[in-house]
């Protein structure tokens, strides 16, 4: 006896598979080398640094961490002969390139740090992105806390977009 699938079952199944295949793929965002500078007693702010890349254009729109009251994207910029730190609303990450958030340019500033952060521990960060179609996504990162005198070790053009090959 030959069993044939019912058209009532097969029709919706084929439609469901076709509809799923038609959904746009979410951007794949990668965060590498995430770290946070340690703090001393009563220090209220510190920086978080990392390299972000994506397979589609995305925009970093914000960040948060349970270890701080606020997290903001900041930029270090020369203003006359003084280095100034200023908030930035968003950062564009171009597909196929990476963006370094480091000590010399862009970084995430953790403000209102709730406790002393000690070298060796991990700090959870949530990074918020929007893709080119306006779809929101979040990336959870565990950033290593490094000593007060730690540096990011990136080359002279860190903090700017560059080809992914350059960052490997």
Residue 60's domain is classified under what CATH number? 2.60.40.1890
Domain-located, residue 110:
yes
Total number of domains constituting the chain: 1
Indicate whether 8 belongs to any domain: no
Residue ranges making up the domain that contains 50: 26-152+159-167
Q: Is residue 39 part of a domain?
A: yes
Q: What is the pLDDT of residue 19?
A: 47
Judge whether 124 lies within some domain. yes
Say if CB 91 and CB 130 are below 8 A apart: no
Tell me: pLDDT of 94 over 70. yes
What pLDDT digit, counting tens, does each position of 96-151 carry?
A: 999 999 988 999 999 999 999 999 999 999 999 999 999 999 999 999 999 988 87
Tell me the mean pLDDT in the region 14-19. 50
Specify if 21 maps to a domain: no
Q: Say if 140 falls within a structural domain.
A: yes
Task: Say if 11 falls within a structural domain.
Answer: no
Q: What is the pLDDT of residue 153?
A: 55
Domain for residue 12, yes or no?
Answer: no
Check pLDDT > 60 for residue 166: no
Look at residue 130 in the predicted model and tell me its pLDDT.
Answer: 97
Least confident of 14-18, 25-29, 87-91, 95-99: 14-18
Residue/partner pairs of 76-79 with CB below 8 Å, 24 or more apart = 76/103, 76/104, 76/105, 76/106, 76/107
Instruction: Return the higher-pLDDT residue of 22 and 47.
Output: 47
Torsion (CA) 99, 102, 107, 112 in degrees, nearest 10: 150
pLDDT bracket for residue 154 (50, 70, 90): very low
Look up residue 11 and give its two tokens: 């029709």
- Scanning the structure block, which residue is given the tokens 């953790």? 110
| pLDDT on residue 2 | 61
- For residue 137, give the nearest of 73, 93, 87, 75 by alpha carbon: 93
């Amino acid at each position: 006896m030959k069993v044939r699938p019912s058209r009532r079952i097969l029709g919706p199944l084929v439609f469901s598979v076709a509809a799923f295949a038609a959904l746009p793929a979410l951007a794949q965002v990668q965060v590498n080398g995430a770290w946070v500078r340690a703090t001393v007693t009563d220090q209220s702010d510190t920086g978080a640094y990392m390299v972000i890349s994506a397979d589609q254009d995305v925009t970093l729109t914000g960040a948060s961490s349970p270890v701080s009251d606020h997290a903001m994207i900041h930029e270090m910029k020369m203003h006359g002969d003084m280095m100034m730190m200023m908030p930035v609303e968003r950062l564009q990450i171009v597909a196929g390139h990476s963006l370094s958030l480091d000590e010399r340019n862009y970084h995430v500033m953790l403000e209102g740090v709730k406790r002393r952060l000690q070298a060796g521990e991990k700090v959870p960060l949530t990074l918020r992105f929007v893709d080119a179609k306006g779809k929101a996504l979040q990336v959870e990162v565990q950033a290593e806390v490094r000593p007060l005198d730690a540096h990011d070790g990136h080359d002279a053009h860190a903090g700017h977009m560059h080809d992914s090959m350059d960052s490997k």
